[in-house]
Amino acid sequence: MRVRIGLADASHDVEVEVGDGDSFIKDIEAALEADKSMIWLDDSEGNKYGIAVSRITYVRLEGESERTVGFG
C-alpha cells in the first residue's frame, strides 16, 4: 500500500510503500498520542525514513486500485 505524508514547510510529500495500512495508521496515531518527536518508517525496499511527527500535515493511504501507469 502506498502512503503519502504531507509535511509542513515542504514542497513535496513523502511517499513510502507499507505492507499493512491498518498497522501504519495505528503507528502514526500512537506517535501523535505519545507526543513523540520522530517516527521511523521502513518502506518495502528496505529504506528508512525519519519523520518529525509535529511536522505532519496529512497522511493519505492509496490502495492498489488507485494506481495508474502511463497517461491516465
The average confidence (pLDDT) of the chain is 82
* CATH code assigned at 51: 2.30.30
Domain-located, residue 52: yes
Distance CA 62, CA 68 (A): 11
- Which strands form 2-7's sheet, in the order they lie side by side? 14-17, 2-7, 56-62
Q: How far apart are CA 1 and CA 24, in angstroms?
A: 10
pTM over 0.75: no
The answer to whether position 44 is within a domain reads: yes
Print the domain residue range for 26. 2-64
Lowest mean pLDDT among 25-34, 39-48, 51-60: 39-48
The mean pLDDT value for 40-44 works out to 78
Taking the alpha carbons at both ends of the chain, their separation in whole angstroms is 20
β-bridge partners, 58: 6
Say if 33 falls within a structural domain: yes
List pLDDT tens digits, range 47-67: 888 889 888 899 998 876 555
**Count: domains in the chain:** 1
